[in-house]
Amino acid sequence: MYLRQSERKKAKIKMALQGSAGSGKTYSSLLLAQGLTNGDFSKIAIIDTENGSADLYAHLGNYNVLTLIPPFTPDNYIKAIDVCEKAGIEVVIIDSISHCWDYLLDYHSSLAGNSFTNWAKITPLQKAFTDKILHSDAHVISTMRTKQDYVLNQKDGKYIPEKVGLKAVQKDGLDYEFTIVFDVDIKHFAVSSKDRTGLFMGKPEFIINSATGRKILEWCNSGTNLQDAREKIKSTKNLNELKVLYNQYSNWRELLEYDFKIQKDTINSKEILLNPKSFSTNGGTNHY
C-alpha cells in the first residue's frame, strides 16, 4: 500500500450519445470512431441491438458489426465487448445500451417478493455491465435512447403531469460515469451535457463529424488532464505567468476558476510582503 502522484497515460475515451429515435446517434458514433481511428474503419466495431441499423452506413467504410439478439442481458453485452477486444478492435460502438436497461427492468418486474429489496439482485448485474464498459481496453461509444420525461405538479388541488425534458433510457446517473456525454437533437445538432476533457464544455451546439473524433483522440494521447493544469497553476511565480495559463486553459476556465483565484491571492500576498509600496492601501489589484 503506497501513495503515488496522479497521472494519465494515453486514455481510452468512454463516451455516450443520447437522443431520440432519428437523431442520428449511430451515424454520429461512426464519424466519431472514424476520427478516433484516423480513418481505419477495420478497427471499428458496432454491437448492434437496433435491428440492423448498423449496416445502413456501410458506404462509410468496412467497419465490423456484431449483431446482438434478445435477450439483451448484461452478460451478453459483456461477451460481445470481449469478442471485440480479442479481435483487436480500437473503437467499440454499443448501439444501444438502452436495451440492457429495458431487460433489467423487465427482469426486476418478474421477480417475486418485495420490489424494493429485489433491486439488490439487479444492481450487481448493472454494475458488471457498466464496469466492463469503463474498464475496456478500447475506446467505447455508447448510445442511449431518450424519451420525454414528466413530473407531477400540484395545481388547484390536482396533480398535473408536466414535461421536464428528455430522459435517457438507462439507469439514473449512468451519464456521470462517462468522460463525455453528447445530447443529439432531431436536427442532428449536438451539445455536451457532460465533459471532463474540457474540449466541448460551454460550446455552442454543433454537428458531429470525424474531426470531432480526431480532437478527442488528441486529448486521449496528450497526457494532459485537470490535475496537470492545477499543478501548473500552483507553480506560477507571478501574475504574468498566471495570465498566460488563464488564457491557455480557456476551455477549462469554469473548472479551474477557484484554482486561479487561490493562486492569484497567494502571489499577491507574497508581492505585498516583498514590496508593499507597489500595492494600494486597500490591497486592490487588477485582474491578472
Tens digit of pLDDT for each residue in 209-264?
A: 999 999 999 888 876 566 678 888 999 999 999 998 888 777 667 667 888 989 99
Q: State percent of the chain over pLDDT 90.
A: 58
Residue-averaged pLDDT of the chain: 86
Fold classified for 14-222: Rossmann fold (3.40.50)
Q: Check residues 251 and 199 and name the one with the higher pLDDT.
A: 199
Rounded Cα gap, residues 46 and 67, in angstroms: 8
**147 and 20 in contact (C-beta within 8 Å)?**
yes
Rounded Cα gap, residues 87 and 172, in angstroms: 32
Q: Check residues 148 and 12 and name the one with the higher pLDDT.
A: 12
Rounded Cα gap, residues 216 and 208, in angstroms: 12
Rounded Cα gap, residues 44 and 100, in angstroms: 21
Tens digit of pLDDT for each residue in 14-47?
A: 999 999 888 999 999 999 999 999 999 999 999 9
DSSP 84-115: HHHTT-SEEEEE-SHHHHHHHHHHHHH--S-T
Q: 451519464: which residue's cell?
A: 175
Q: 417475486: which residue's cell?
A: 112
C-alpha cell at 44: 471499428
pTM exceeds cut of 0.85? no
Domain locations in the chain as residue ranges? 14-222, 226-278
Mean pLDDT of 159-171: 69
Strand partners, 148: 166
**214 and 231 in contact (C-beta within 8 Å)?**
no
The enclosing H or E element of 198 equals: none
Total residue count of the chain as it appears in this document: 288
Q: Check residues 278 and 153 and name the one with the higher pLDDT.
A: 153
Rounded Cα gap, residues 27 and 272, in angstroms: 58
